[in-house]
C-alpha cells in the first residue's frame, strides 16, 4: 500500500541521517582526541551548524523596508532638510552695507595760515597767528556720504562724528575775499559745530544740505576778516 511504502522510505531516511550523525560524531571525537579542543565544544559546534543552516530563511527583496533598502537616500534627504532650514534661518530682509565714499578730506585752507603769518609780524596779531598755525597742523575735516568727521590734535586722538540726519541748519561765513570760509552747522539738539577756514566751503555746505533728510536753505553772511 502507498502509506506503508511512504513509512518505509521515511524510516530509511531517518536511519541514513542517524548513520551520518553517528559517523560525524566519530570523526569529531577522533579530532578532539588528537587536538586540545574539548570534545563537548566540538560536538556542540558540529550539532549547531546544521541547525543554524536549517533555520536560515530567504526573504524576497520586496519584503525589506524602504529604510533598510536605501539608507543613503534617507541621509541625503536629512542633509537637504538641514540645509533648507539653515537657509531659512538667515533673515531675508537683511540690507547690504552701504559703502562709505569720501567727498572731501583735508585741513584748513593754506591762505589762512599764510595771511596770519604775515600779520603776525605785528605783536597785536600774534595770538591769531598762533591759532592759525594750530588749525593748520592740528585740525582736519572729512565729509563722506554717511557722516561728517572733525579730527583735532597732533595724533588725531580727538574726534567727533555726526550723521547728516541730525543736521538742522547750515550757515557759511566767507573769509578774506571768499577764498575760504567758516561753516556753522546747527544740529537738531541745538548744538553748533563751527568749522573754521574750510576750503571750498560753499560746495561743502551745499553737499551737507543735500545729504540731510530735510534740506534747509543755505545761509551766507557778509565777508569777515581772516
In sequence order, the 6+-apart residues with CB closer than 8 A to the CB of 63 are none
List Cα–Cα distances, 135 to 28, 66, 152, 176, 200, in angstroms: 111, 81, 9, 16, 16
Q: What is the DSSP string of 104-144?
A: EEE-S-HHHHHHHHHHTTSSTTHHHHHHHHHHHHHEEEEEE
* Terminal Cα distance for the chain, rounded: 143
Distance CA 221, CA 13 (A): 128
Q: How confident is the model at residue 162 (pLDDT cuts 50, 70, 90)?
A: very high
Q: What percent of the chain lies above the pLDDT cut of 70?
A: 56
pLDDT score of 109 more than 90:
yes
Give the per-residue pLDDT at 28. 61
Give the per-residue pLDDT at 10. 66
Give the per-residue pLDDT at 156. 72
List Cα–Cα distances, 113 to 119, 130, 158, in angstroms: 10, 9, 22
Q: Quick one: average pLDDT of 69-78?
A: 51
The helix (H) or strand (E) run that includes residue 97 is: none
The residue that leads in pLDDT, 189 or 30, is 189
Distance CA 49, CA 39 (A): 16
The C-alpha cell of 2 is what?
502507498
CATH number of 102-220: 2.30.29.30
pLDDT score of 35 more than 70:
no
**Cα 87 off chain centre by:** 13
Identify the three-state secondary structure at position 192. Answer: strand
The average confidence (pLDDT) of the chain is 73
pLDDT score of 75 more than 60:
no
- C-alpha radius of gyration, the chain, whole number: 50
The C-alpha cell of 18 is what?
542517524
pLDDT score of 41 more than 50:
no
Residue 71 burial by Cβ neighbours in a 10 Å radius (0-12, 13-18, 19+): exposed
Domain residue ranges in the chain: 102-220
Lowest-confidence range among 30-34, 125-129, 180-184, 186-190?
30-34
The residue that leads in pLDDT, 168 or 72, is 168
The residue that leads in pLDDT, 24 or 102, is 102
Give the per-residue pLDDT at 21. 72
In sequence order, the 6+-apart residues with CB closer than 8 A to the CB of 154 are 137, 138
Q: Quick one: average pLDDT of 101-122?
A: 91
Distance CA 65, CA 73 (A): 13
Distance CA 204, CA 208 (A): 6
Q: What is the pLDDT of residues 14-27, one digit of tens each?
A: 667 667 677 776 67
List Cα–Cα distances, 142 to 65, 191, 209, in angstroms: 71, 19, 15
Amino acid at each position: 500500500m502507498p502509506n506503508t511504502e511512504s513509512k518505509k522510505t521515511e524510516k530509511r531516511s531517518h536511519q541514513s541521517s542517524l548513520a551520518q550523525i553517528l559517523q560525524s560524531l566519530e570523526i569529531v571525537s577522533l579530532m578532539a582526541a588528537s587536538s586540545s579542543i574539548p570534545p563537548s565544544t566540538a560536538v556542540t559546534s558540529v550539532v549547531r551548524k546544521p541547525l543554524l543552516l536549517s533555520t536560515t530563511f530567504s526573504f524576497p527583496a520586496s519584503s525589506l523596508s524602504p529604510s533598510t533598502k536605501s539608507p543613503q537616500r534617507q541621509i541625503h534627504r536629512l542633509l537637504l532638510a538641514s540645509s533648507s532650514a539653515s537657509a531659512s534661518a538667515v533673515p531675508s530682509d537683511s540690507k547690504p552695507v552701504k559703502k562709505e565714499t569720501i567727498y572731501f578730506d583735508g585741513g584748513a585752507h593754506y591762505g589762512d595760515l599764510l595771511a596770519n603769518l604775515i600779520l603776525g609780524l605785528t605783536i597785536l596779531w600774534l595770538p591769531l597767528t598762533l591759532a592759525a598755525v594750530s588749525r593748520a597742523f592740528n585740525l582736519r575735516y572729512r565729509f563722506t556720504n554717511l557722516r561728517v568727521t572733525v579730527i583735532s590734535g597732533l595724533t588725531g586722538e580727538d574726534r567727533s562724528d555726526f550723521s547728516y540726519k541730525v543736521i538742522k541748519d547750515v550757515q557759511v561765513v566767507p573769509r578774506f575775499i571768499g577764498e575760504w570760509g567758516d561753516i556753522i552747522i546747527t544740529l537738531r539738539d541745538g548744538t553748533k559745530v563751527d568749522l573754521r577756514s574750510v576750503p571750498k566751503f560753499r560746495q561743502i555746505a551745499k553737499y551737507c544740505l543735500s545729504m540731510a533728510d530735510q534740506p534747509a536753505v543755505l545761509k551766507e553772511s557778509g565777508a569777515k576778516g581772516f
